[in-house]
Amino acid sequence: MTTPVYIYIAYTIISIAMTAWVARTLYKNGRIFLVDAFGGNEKMADSVNHLLVLGAMHFFNIFNFDRMRKKGLNHNSMPPVLSGVDSKPWA
């Protein structure tokens, strides 16, 4: 395997670990806020808390996939054509 492959593997492992840590921290600390926001209704707060963690991870994944797609499309496109002052041929 080449160096970039090792880098991607390390990045993936670190990303998964950080995502799990952040999700656990937000889940634990967010529950207290949500219970207060829902007037002590713990079942509702727990339900919303589960959905917020999943929704945030889904948004993060979609955002990154969109960036990768745009980068791939821009990489294969033609360079921009200059316009303006130099657009008229010299006679």
What are the tens digits of pLDDT across the range 69-81?
787 777 666 666 6
Cα distance from N-terminal residue to C-terminal residue, the chain: 58
| pTM of the complete model beyond 0.85 | no
- pLDDT tens string 1-16: 789 899 999 999 999 9
Angle made by CA atoms 66, 68, 69, in degrees to the nearest 5: 65
Mean pLDDT over residues 21-30, rounded?
A: 84
Give me the chain's average pLDDT, please: 81
Which sequence spans correspond to the domains of the chain?
23-59
